[in-house]
Amino acid sequence: MPICGVLGWPVRHSRSPAMHEAGYAALGLGDWRYQLLPVPPELFDEAVRALPGAGFVGANVTIPHKEAAARLADAATDAVRAIGAANTLTFRDGRIHADNTDAPGFLDALPFDPAGRSALVLGAGGSARAVVWALVQGGADVLVWNRSPERAERLCAEIGGRAVQDPPLAADLLVNTTSVGLRNEDPFKALPLHVDASGGYPCVVDLVYGSGPTALVSAAQAAGATVVDGLEVLVRQGARSFERWTGRAAPLDVLRAAARGQTGAAAG
Ligand code: NDP
């Protein structure tokens, strides 16, 4: 019985088990399982090393373990090395392989090829590193704003893009990678935002997700922008992990419905 799971602390609200198990069922992978793996930081390395012996073929990694996962791995992709974080571990040939599917998953979720487009990324935390790396690799012209400007400067020095303190009022793409919106904060007060009917940002991605649309997603939709919400980004990174482990194309609609709680599966 091949087992996968998600390592986090806390992790009980993760939608990944519902998403992956729905995918296994849809493809007839009846003996595959996906488990929540709540592991505190001090036990992370030990827990990961024990997983292959317990039947695990792979694991997703979420807050706060992504950097530890990149350090622990025996082999890592270029994306992991550049971003400094891994969200997907694969146990193969007695080795731990680290990958970052947040970056390509983000590009998969975009409605257009970012090459030659202008992008404004808000935030300079862990998820911003994957988003900026993906956009820079994809040929976009990337500006990065962060509440703490020195963090944006450091990110751009390491990964690419240009740090700005007064972001432009227009760009082809606006990406919110800050945690603003998670607790119903008003993004128009906390962030230097301009999403209105003038269409300054024709495409808006909000990595934050919850039980309903975030205030930023609602405002961008009302302004007529093309909107990608955090659940779609979650689904796309999950689909890439799913494909690495099973070797099968992920049934995207099934994963999407499960992540959005539209199936009988528990949303985690
Ligand atoms: P980090 O803790 O690494 O970074 C948090 C970022 O938010 C920093 O840039 C921080 O700025 C900024 N921030 C926090 N509070 C405020 C505020 N009040 N005003 C302005 N900026 C603020 O978090 P992550 O990058 O890991 O995650 C960020 C969000 O993205 C979370 O909500 C997370 O759930 C979501 N996420 C979604 C994913 C998906 O698949 N949809 C994947 C990964 C993350 P400063 O540096 O100044 O503190």
Task: Give tens-digit pLDDT for 157-211.
Answer: 999 999 999 999 899 999 999 999 988 888 989 999 876 655 799 999 999 998 8
The span from the CA of 246 to the CA of 34, in Å, is: 12
Cα of 155 from ligand 1 centre, angstroms: 14
Q: Does the pLDDT of residue 139 top 50, yes or no?
A: yes
Please give the average per-residue pLDDT across 66-75, as a whole number.
97
Please give the average per-residue pLDDT across 209-221, as a whole number.
92
| Mean pLDDT, all residues of the chain | 94
Q: What is the pLDDT of residue 264?
A: 40
Q: Is 106 in the pocket of ligand 1 (CB under 6 A)?
A: no
Cα of 257 from ligand 1 centre, angstroms: 25
High-pLDDT (> 70) share of the chain, %: 96
Distances (CA, A) of 85 to 50, 93, 101, 118, 133: 21, 22, 10, 25, 12
Please give the average per-residue pLDDT across 85-104, as a whole number.
97
Q: Is 234 in the pocket of ligand 1 (CB under 6 A)?
A: yes
In this structure, the residue with its CA closest to atom 11 of ligand 1 is 147
Q: Does the pLDDT of residue 82 top 60, yes or no?
A: yes
Q: What is the pLDDT of residue 198?
A: 56
Which atom of ligand 1 is closest in space to residue 178's alpha carbon?
7
Q: What is the pLDDT of residue 193?
A: 87
- What length does the chain have? 268
Which atom of ligand 1 is closest in space to residue 122's alpha carbon?
9
Please give the average per-residue pLDDT across 61-66, as a whole number.
96
The span from the CA of 161 to the CA of 132, in Å, is: 7
Q: What is the pLDDT of residue 17?
A: 97
In this structure, the residue with its CA closest to atom 46 of ligand 1 is 148
Q: Does the pLDDT of residue 266 top 50, yes or no?
A: no
Q: Which two tokens stand for residue 198?
A: 């003038």
Q: Domains for the chain: give ranges and CATH numbers.
A: 3-100+232-259 (3.40.50.10860), 104-228 (3.40.50.720)
Whole-model pTM: value is 0.95
Q: Does the pLDDT of residue 265 top 70, yes or no?
A: no
Q: What is the pLDDT of residue 183?
A: 87
More confident residue, 210 or 11: 11
Q: Which helix (H) or strand (E) holds 79?
A: helix 78-83
Q: Is 147 in the pocket of ligand 1 (CB under 6 A)?
A: yes
Cis ω before 40 (30° cut-off from 0): no
Q: Is 230 in the pocket of ligand 1 (CB under 6 A)?
A: yes
